[in-house]
Amino acid sequence: MTRAGVTCVFDPRYNDERDKSGRNPRVWTIEAETEAVRCLEEIAEGRHPDDFTVQFLYREGDAKPFLWEEDYYRYLKESAESEGTVIPKLHRSDNVVPPAQTHGIEPPAVPLEYIPGMTLAEYKASKRPNIPSAIFRPQFDAISKFGDGGVFHGDISGSNILVSPSEVPVRAVLIDFGRAGLREEGELEEDWTDICRFHRDEMMFVSTLIN
Domain range annotation of the chain: 5-113, 118-210
* Phi, psi dihedrals of residue 144, rounded to the nearest 5°: -65, -15
pLDDT in tens, 13-67: 777 777 655 555 677 888 888 888 888 888 888 888 887 776 667 665 567 888 8
Q: According to the model, what pLDDT value does residue 131 have?
A: 94
Per-residue pLDDT for 157 more than 90?
yes
**Which pTM was predicted?**
0.59
How many helices (H) and strands (E) are present in the chain, helices listed first?
Answer: 6, 8
* Phi, psi dihedrals of residue 162, rounded to the nearest 5°: -100, 135
Q: According to the model, what pLDDT value does residue 85 have?
A: 67
* Phi, psi dihedrals of residue 202, rounded to the nearest 5°: -60, -45
Determine the average pLDDT of the residues in 71-95: 64
Per-residue pLDDT for 91 more than 60?
no
Q: According to the model, what pLDDT value does residue 97 have?
A: 45
**Nearest 10 degrees: Cα torsion 34, 40, 42, 44:** -140
pLDDT band at 119 (very low <50, low <70, confident <90, very high): very high
The third-level CATH classification (topology) of the domain covering 118-210 is: Transferase(Phosphotransferase); domain 1 (1.10.510)
